[in-house]
Amino acid sequence: MRFDVITLFPELFAPFLETGVTRRAYTSGLVQVHLWNPRDFAEGNYRRIDDRSFGGGPGMVMMAEPLALCLHKIRAERADAEPAPVVLFSPLGPALNHSAVAHWSDSAGAVLLCGRYEGVDQRFVDAHVTHQISLGDFVLSGGEIAAMALLDAVARLQPGVLNDEGSHQLDSFNPALDGLLDCPHYTRPEVWAERTVPDVLMSGHHLKIERWRRDQRLAITAKHRPDLITAARTAGRLDKLDEKVLREL
């Protein structure tokens, strides 16, 4: 898959693409990332890519023409049979979740537009943007962090990227866990700061361990994200024993 990132600050992505376990996805070519600076497609000595907003008000707006020229170059290089989706990171979009990440991880990729300043000329958005994505109800200085979040989440789902192939199956929100939050994890030493590892995890009894982990996932999800319990119940993912545990909680 291929992601083309339109950003005024491509240098921000260099350490991200070269660090951590997900770098395997990028260096192997499983996830190809190409960086494009719209300033390279702007005219004039100053390569201006922003201007004041019509109607007044503070801040500047990214101009449509440099972005359109940049996108045209990307499309020519990709040469896709179907035009790649164009994703704008914006407060208008739905919050990124596991379902959306799974969708993009199984796609051919997309063009990721990292907005800056007060935003992007709406005419470019209307003409070219196919998807809008938010990280939540807050505002960032630009879309770069959001683009990295999507790329990281997509990369770790690719085969061979994580040390353990089944590791991401135990992530919070994963359908393999019925959309619940993950359970607590412990490692050596067995006693730390007078706190001990739960006895059941030391028992070697795999069925009891799995039941304990399931109960912990139910308890943590019910406490912190009861909406996920409701969703799991509606989808028929909770059995009678799960419901008994929830009643006892």
Known catalytic residues are: 91, 118, 156, 171
Tokens of 79: 């040469």
Measured distance CA(238)–CA(231) in Å, rounded: 10
Pairing of strands 109-113, 131-133: unpaired
Closest C-alpha to 232, from 170, 148, 174, 189: 174
Torsion angles phi and psi, residue 50, rounded to 5: -140, 160
Measured distance CA(17)–CA(25) in Å, rounded: 9
How many of the other CB atoms lie within 10 Å of CB of 230? 11
The dihedral of CA 66, 67, 72, 76: what is its sign?
positive
Contact 58, 195 (CB under 8 A): no
Tokens of 132: 């809008």
